[in-house]
Amino acid sequence: MWCDVITMRRTWAASVVLAGVLVAGGCGGSDGGPPGPVNTTPPESTNGIQWSKGRLWIAGAITQGYGPEDGLGPNDDLVLVEGGAFVVTEPSRGTVSRFDPKRGRTELAEIGPQANGIARCADGRVFANLEWPAGAVFEIDPSGATPPRQVTGEAPGLNSMACVGEFLYAPTFFKGGVIRVHRETGEITTIVETGLNLPSAVHAMPDGTIVALQVVLPVRLMKVDVESAELTELARIEGMIADNFAVGPDGTFYVTDFFDAGVVVISPDGTQRRIEL
């Protein structure tokens, strides 16, 4: 689902996530200062999600915050970049844009309709993909100084992806699998050909373990063995259709709800709780 960008502050006590609040205008300055004024307007749904410095940044359909009045188009996925900015995919525009709270939106690239997943690598490089019908992966310069570089144009049905080392790992939404794309050569390796019911996101745990999200019937987080292609269920969530997830540094999962404004938090011990936004 396409959406605008909100942020949610989280607090810790004895390694347990407590109540989150929506923060309009960001979660404080890049120097870690106090958050801005609280926006209590709930989003209509929640989508892409990123963990950064003890806070969750969430893409969700909202009525206040960073949205059309700030120049952003409906957006699907996001990554955080230097300077307190974020980069989003805007499917209806077919663009990838950078948004700085102080300077507003800057269009970085036009890659085509259904611009969807985005990933930021450890070295700061950013990659975005097209979902359908002509799937492709592009490298995006987050500064906008250089044009996008097409990595591959032979991978339709992509969605939210992860960068691990020299590779991008992405779900093949309609096939029910997981692929690996070499970020330099564009070489595609099929890790899992099928077996997942509409996988919408692939991310990595702190130790590099690849995890895929199956969005329905039921929602499942699946460990993906990149050598054997074996799938192992790590957690399942009943009563929702998921969209995306993030992983905290302690291995906690944060799963967004496609049709409702909420995040399901799954602790390393398997305990689940839901944060309503």
Other CB atoms within 10 A of residue 26 CB: 21
Omega into 218 within 30° of 0, i.e. cis? yes
Omega into 156 within 30° of 0, i.e. cis? no
Supply angle C-alpha 159, 164, 168, rounded to 5.
35
Q: Stretch 10-39: mean pLDDT, rounded? A: 29
Name which residue leads in pLDDT, 8 or 72: 72
pLDDT > 60? residue 146: yes
Model confidence, pTM = 0.79
Token digits of residue 203? 């991310």
| pLDDT of res. 65 | 56
Name which residue leads in pLDDT, 96 or 14: 96
| Domains of the chain, each with CATH number or no CATH | 4-276 (2.130.10.10)
Token digits of residue 86? 């974020």
